[in-house]
Amino acid sequence: MKIILTAVNAKYIHSNLAVYTLQASAEKAGVFPEIREFTINQSKDSMLRSLFLAHADVVCVSCYIWNISIVEDLITEYHKISPETKIWLGGPEVSYHAEEMLEQYPFLDGIMKGEGEITFRELAVYYQNQENGTEGKTLEEIHGITYRDAEGAIKSNPWRPVMDLSEVDFPYANLKKFENRIIYYESSRGCPFSCSYCLSSIDKRLRFRNLELVKKELAFFLEHKVPQVKFVDRTFNCKKDHAMEIWKFIAEHDNGVTNFHFEIAADLITEEELELLNTLRPGLVQLEIGVQSTNPQTIEAIHRKMDFGRVTEIVNRIAKGRNIHQHLDLIAGLPYEDIESFHRSFNDVYKMEPEQLQLGFLKVLKGSYMYEHASEYGLIYRTKPPYEVLASKWVSYDEMLEIRLVEEMLELHYNSGQFLTYLAVLEQRYASAFQMFLDMGHFYRSNGYLDCSHN
């Protein structure tokens, strides 16, 4: 029985934590799936060739917002040339409309919904038992799947109860596969917040991996001097003791090379944590902080809790240490945020002078609260991934184009880090950073520079 786990990543430097974790889980049960990783920049022909030449009995594909369009095309063509191969999908982009996917693609055998480690292990054992003529769990008995039965009818089994995170198998025993790539690591699952645009808000069951296990695994990364470990915890510092233990450990065992990335809520940072962060080697840690908006009505509408005054204080105090790269996020298109309000939010965050200011656009994800209330907010968004908002009750498409101009100029002139000297001069002529970047954008657009390749 040959099972292939397939990932289509956004960039070569990325790795897919999900498929490696599923592989490790199946190996525990004596099934040894292979992994095929591609990137969205590869030709579909090369992906198709690789999968076909693998001659798999079962192909399972990990689906996300950035790859689902490619995955849908890939499996459609793959089924034509390998009609006997069983095809399964999993991941956040298919979990919340599994039946619809099976109706849309009649050749699909099933969808793995939600947390996949145990589900995939049982599914892999099921197929191995079928090949060996051995009795075991039937598809009807495997939780966490929606599938097509022998008669072609679509059946939806109950979602699988969440597992103990300490039972998830460590997927990085062989680091040779990850040379020159980012290592993604998970010390907690779930999120304490209920942000209406995020799928993490659906599952409120927050769980933490055993700290001794975490330390052992981080020591492995440090020993092998991996360049970067990116924690995928949704809010890393939501539990102070957990965060402090990990930050202390990496400080005490710093190898002078490895960088650790954490997504945090800045207003939850305590004085003790701040003191520790200020002592770290420059480059040891980088922080991503989701501000999203500074409009109190918007923050309330998206079910987010944030004390922006405290966020500003913490960001500024961390910046004074000159040892930690800070990456702040804003989202355009949120409820109650018109162009003037977003203008203020942008200026509020820009004043903090983060190393990176990421200006993103609201994505209306299937299964999210925002998706369920899209008509109420007058959200007009792309039908296909990444489902970005084009307009809303508060922002017209024309105004959204203005914000996109600002985003392009921000990326080119600020986030690139190449033009900070002249930006500092230009800022003296403007009371508003948003207006400064917007004027740049208008200049670029009127002169035809937006379509140029810039260096």
Q: Mean pLDDT over all residues of the chain?
A: 95
Residue 200 pLDDT more than 80? no
Dihedral of CA atoms 406, 408, 411, 413 in degrees, nearest 10, equals -80
Asked whether residue 201 carries a pLDDT value surpassing 70, the answer given is no
For residues 273-291, give the mean pLDDT.
96
Q: What burial class does residue 370 get, using C-beta atoms within 10 Å of its C-beta: 0-12 exposed, 13-18 middle, 19+ buried?
A: buried
Instruction: Please tell me the predicted confidence (pLDDT) of residue 455.
Output: 72
C-alpha angle 404-409-414 in degrees, rounded to nearest 5: 130
Is the per-residue pLDDT at 53 higher than 90? yes
- Higher pLDDT pick, 87 / 365: 87
Helical ranges in 266-417 per DSSP H: 271-277, 296-301, 308-320, 339-350, 369-372, 397-409
Percent of the chain predicted with pLDDT > 90: 89
pLDDT over 90 (residue 366): no
> What's the pLDDT tens digit per position in 394-419?
999 999 999 999 999 999 999 999 99
User: Please, are residues 65 and 386 in contact by the beta-carbon 8 Å criterion?
Assistant: yes
Reported confidence tier of residue 192, pLDDT bands at 50, 70, 90: confident
Closest CA to 192 of 244, 243, 234: 234
Rounded Cα gap, residues 161 and 169, in angstroms: 17
pLDDT at site 204: 61
Whole-number percent of the chain with pLDDT over 70? 99
Give the dihedral of Cα atoms 36, 202, 342, 390; nearest 10 deg: 60
According to DSSP H, which parts of 82-140 are helical? 92-95, 98-104, 117-132
Beta strand 188-189 pairing with 207-208 = antiparallel
Q: Hey, how many other C-beta atoms are within 10 angstroms of the C-beta on 423? A: 15
pLDDT digits (tens, 9 = 90+) for 204-221: 689 999 999 999 999 999
Amino acid code (one letter) for 23: Q
pLDDT at 453: 80
Count of residues in the chain: 455
- Distances in Å between the Cα of 72 and the Cα atoms of 8, 120, 253, 448 are 11, 20, 44, 35
Q: Give me the pLDDT at residue 199, please.
A: 76
The one-letter code for the residue type at 235 is T
Alpha-carbon span 111 to 451, nearest angstrom: 40
Which run of H or of E encompasses 35? strand 34-39
Closest to 433 measured CA to CA, from 354, 368, 335, 377? 354
Distance CA 322, CA 397 (A): 39
